[in-house]
Amino acid sequence: MKSIVFRTSMMIAVLCVSSVLSGCGYNTIPTLDEQAKARWSDVQNQYQRRADLIPNLVATVQGYAKQEKDVLTAVVEARAKATQIKVDASQLTDPEKLKQFQDAQNQLTGALGRLLAISENYPDLKSNANFLALQSQLEGTENRIAVARRDYIDAVRAYNTEIRTFPSIIWAKTVFGSKPLAEFAANESAQTPPQVKF
């Protein structure tokens, strides 16, 4: 009789402990952490796609705009710098590392903007099928980058909120040693409205 009561008590205790653990955030923290890391992989994938398109775009423009060597060189150098800075999932808690990555990507974005702007000076280039296809792919990739960054920011926000709220904060501090993940921040030029001149 005592063994039946003991087993029943143990089963009730196990059920109580598992229901408490399931509702306390213990499993939520690693789940949200992995989701944020997966979103970061999406961001890196889209930036890599852009980096892969650039040599073809530069080669196409180079054939038409040999005198624009400075712009072409700036794009190649910005691409090299942007692909050298790597941020893996273990570094997502370092805001300075993420800022370095973001700054390099912003420099590449600016150089690409100048490259696309010079196409206005070359009507034959603007009508070239290869250039138009590459420009379209680049625009699509920029849109994918924006979506991937937004998804990463949302995942980081969910994770950071979870590790700072009760009762998950208990698990975050005592069991996981969780640190907040770094978010993307708008660059300084985004804070200044563009000037329109007629």
What are the angstrom distances between the C-alpha of 198 and each of 119, 189, 195?
21, 21, 10
**Alpha carbon of residue 99 to chain centroid:** 11
CA Rg value for the chain: 25
Binning pLDDT at 50, 70 and 90, where does residue 22 land?
low
For the CA atoms of 117, 118, 119, 121, the dihedral, rounded to the nearest 10 degrees, stands at 120
Per the model's pLDDT, the better-predicted residue between 25 and 145 turns out to be: 145
Distance from the Cα of residue 157 to its chain's centroid: 13
Among the listed ranges 88-92, 172-176, 192-196, which one has the minimum average pLDDT value? 192-196
Backbone phi and psi for residue 160, each to the nearest 5 degrees, phi listed first: -60, -35
194 pLDDT more than 50: no
Indicate whether 196 pLDDT > 60: no
Whole-number Cα distances in Å, 50 to 4, 26, 142: 66, 38, 8
Q: What's the confidence (pLDDT) of residue 96?
A: 92
User: Per residue in 32-53, pLDDT tens?
Assistant: 999 999 999 999 999 999 999 9
Span of 53-62, 69-78, 93-102, 121-130 with lowest mean pLDDT: 121-130
pLDDT of residue 19: 55
Render pLDDT for 158-190 as a digit per residue (tens, 0 to 9). Answer: 999 999 988 888 888 888 888 899 887 766 655
CA 72, 75, 77: angle at the middle one, nearest 5? 110
Q: How far is CA 8 from CA 11, 18, 19, 42, 195, in A?
A: 5, 15, 16, 48, 75
Residue 152: per-residue pLDDT: 95
DSSP per residue over 26-91, as a string? TTHHHHHHHHHHHHHHHHHHHHHHHHHHHHHHHHHHHHH-GGGHHHHHHHHHHHHHHHH----GGG
pTM: 0.74
DSSP per-residue string spanning 177-195:
---PPP-----GGGGSPPP
Does the pLDDT value for residue 198 go beyond 50?
Answer: no
What integer is the mean pLDDT of 20-42? 82
135 pLDDT more than 80: yes
More confident residue, 120 or 33: 33
